[in-house]
């Protein structure tokens, strides 16, 4: 809205009706103000808002909000910057401010460039969350120093706001915030009215203040927040009972047990056959030792959640299940082979060509984790499977950290130091998390062992 014949502003809100999207991606609020002097400001603002909202909800669940926003906006920026070169004048182009909030879990993530603003009102305390990217020309005039489409590289502000029930958020263009006194903004934002009514009220106040610009406002009201626990997917599985000890011939949800593959104090692994398809699969079940341990149950469920989302030929495949489960377990592809630790004992020293081939495959598997903002954190020969054909697969999602999941749920505190002595980055022992670098360290250690038969620093 506004008095200008062409409205260069654009705004959008998306609250997914799909509960899966709402839980895993949250909701988005966006305001963009196209630069009118740039001629293509309207197209720039509309492109930025529409593409951000559309593409954000299509990003992988494993990506953090910051990665989603920064990657999408960098792509939009580059597209608009290139289109700006269609103009002969350097002062013309596809330029727009951009301010958005993504509310995911109990946190508001904001992305900002330009002079639109984001405000927060909490229990009477009012704050501007963003900084105006402007410089003064004197005489009360300013010009934008940052905008989408201005440069081939986007200089974007990103921040996080821990939310509380009752919080009120306002996103608005300069045609609004420059023409309403702060006291009136606070008074209006605190009104006991629906968000849409309050947003319209801001537009009315801007007109009363004789705004000379286009005007846009989006209001968000935090009525309640999710509990700090697992999402609905996890909660549903948490209620399932642990399966009993399984023996050959027993059936579980249409899967017939063929034999036990592995058992430890923490879990069991069985070879099972799907009665419907005849396919052989590996079934992992939780240990009855942890039936009352909620942290263990949460981690077991997260193993499946993470594994489903990391699909790569060099990572063992977790099977997405459509069949209703009566017990807590998950399914994996069945791969015939042996752990790299056993393989090395039989093939020490391996030929350099063979060793390099295995290391390359493991590196490709790790790359799939890292591209999904996941860190394995416990890479060791026992968590690498080698088939007779020489194919290597990364196993075990028990220690994996995923940035996107940590934004939705309370972090699970590990029982002790992450990783395995001899293969873990020493930073883990000091209480630090080296992230991706820790996986690289573990792979380097495994490579060293393959060629020398020993660990770089022994077993300690």
| Domains (range + CATH), the chain | 9-221 (3.60.40.10), 232-333 (3.30.200.20), 338-452 (1.10.510.10)
Q: Mean of the pLDDT values across residues 139-164?
A: 91
CA 96/CA 32 separation, integer angstroms = 6
The average confidence (pLDDT) of the chain is 89
Write the CA distances from 220 to 149, 211, 248, 422, 455, integer angstroms: 27, 23, 56, 50, 55
| DSSP label of 389 | T
- Which tens digit of pLDDT belongs to each residue from 272-298? 999 999 999 999 999 999 998 888 998
Q: Other C-beta atoms within 10 Å of 330: how many? A: 23
Examine the pLDDT at 39 and tell me if it is beyond 90. Answer: no
| pLDDT score, position 417 | 45
Token duo for residue 447: 């490579």
| pLDDT score, position 229 | 41
| Closest to 240 in 3D by CA, of 318, 301, 319 | 301
Residue 40 CA neighbour count, 13 Å, CB half: 22
Q: What angle do CA 353, 354, 360 make, to 5 degrees?
A: 90
| pLDDT score, position 7 | 58
Would you place residue 52 in the very low, low, confident or very high pLDDT band (cuts 50, 70, 90)? very high
Q: Which long-range contacts (CB under 8 A, 24 or more apart) does 229-237 make?
A: 229/409, 229/410, 230/298, 230/301, 230/302, 230/409, 231/23, 231/24, 231/408, 231/409, 232/19, 232/23, 233/20, 233/23, 233/301, 233/305, 234/298, 234/301, 234/302, 234/305, 234/409, 237/301, 237/325, 237/328
Q: Mean of the pLDDT values across residues 90-114?
A: 89
Residue with the larger pLDDT of the pair 108 and 425: 108
Q: Mean of the pLDDT values across residues 336-348?
A: 93
Least confident residue range of 147-161, 324-338, 363-377, 410-424: 410-424
Q: Other C-beta atoms within 10 Å of 366: how many? A: 23
Would you place residue 270 in the very low, low, confident or very high pLDDT band (cuts 50, 70, 90)? very high
| pLDDT score, position 332 | 97
| pLDDT score, position 2 | 47
Token duo for residue 361: 């495959």
| pLDDT score, position 132 | 96
Q: Mean of the pLDDT values across residues 370-399?
A: 93
């Amino acid at each position: 809205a506004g008095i200008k014949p062409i409205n260069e502003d654009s705004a959008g809100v998306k609250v997914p009706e799909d509960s899966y999207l709402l839980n895993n991606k949250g909701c988005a609020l966006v305001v963009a103000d196209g630069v009118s002097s740039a001629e293509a400001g309207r197209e720039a603002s509309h492109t930025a808002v529409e593409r951000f909202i559309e593409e954000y909800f299509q990003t992988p669940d494993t990506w953090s909000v910051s990665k989603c926003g920064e990657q999408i906006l960098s792509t939009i920026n580059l597209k608009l910057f290139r289109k700006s070169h269609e103009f002969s004048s350097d002062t013309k182009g596809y330029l727009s401010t951009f301010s958005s909030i993504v509310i995911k879990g109990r946190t508001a993530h904001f992305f900002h460039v330009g002079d639109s603003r984001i405000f927060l009102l909490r229990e009477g305390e009012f704050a501007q969350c963003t900084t105006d990217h402007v410089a003064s020309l004197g005489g009360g005039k300013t010009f934008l120093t940052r905008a989408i489409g201005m440069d081939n590289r986007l200089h974007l502000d990103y921040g996080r706001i821990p939310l509380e029930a009752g919080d009120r958020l306002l996103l608005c263009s300069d045609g609004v915030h420059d023409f309403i006194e702060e006291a009136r903004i606070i008074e209006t934002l605190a009104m006991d009215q629906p968000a849409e009514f309050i947003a319209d009220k801001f537009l009315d106040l801007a007109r009363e203040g004789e705004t000379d610009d286009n005007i846009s406002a989006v209001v968000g009201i935090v009525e309640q927040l999710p509990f700090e626990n697992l999402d609905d997917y996890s909660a549903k599985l948490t209620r399932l009972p642990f399966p009993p000890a399984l023996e050959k011939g027993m059936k579980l949800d249409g899967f017939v047990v063929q034999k036990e593959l592995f058992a430890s104090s923490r879990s069991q692994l069985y070879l099972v056959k799907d009665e419907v398809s005849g396919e052989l699969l590996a079934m992992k079940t939780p240990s009855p030792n942890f039936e009352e341990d909620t942290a263990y149950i949460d981690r077991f469920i997260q193993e499946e959640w993470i594994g489903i989302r990391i699909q790569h030929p060099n990572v063992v495949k977790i099977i997405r299940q459509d069949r209703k489960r009566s017990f807590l377990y998950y399914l994996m592809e069945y791969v015939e082979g042996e752990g790299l630790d056993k393989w090395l004992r039989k093939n020490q020293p391996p030929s350099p060509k063979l060793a390099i081939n295995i290391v390359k495959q493991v590196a490709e598997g790790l790359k799939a984790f890292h591209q999904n903002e996941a860190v394995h954190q416990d890479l060791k020969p026992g968590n690498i499977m080698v088939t007779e054909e020489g194919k290597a697969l990364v196993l075990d999602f028990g220690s994996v950290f995923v940035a996107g999941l940590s934004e939705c749920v309370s972090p699970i505190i590990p029982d002790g130091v992450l990783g395995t002595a001899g293969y873990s980055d020493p930073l883990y022992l000091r209480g630090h998390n080296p992230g991706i670098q820790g996986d690289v360290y573990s792979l380097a250690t495994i490579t060293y062992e393959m060629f020398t038969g020993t660990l770089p620093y022994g077993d300690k």
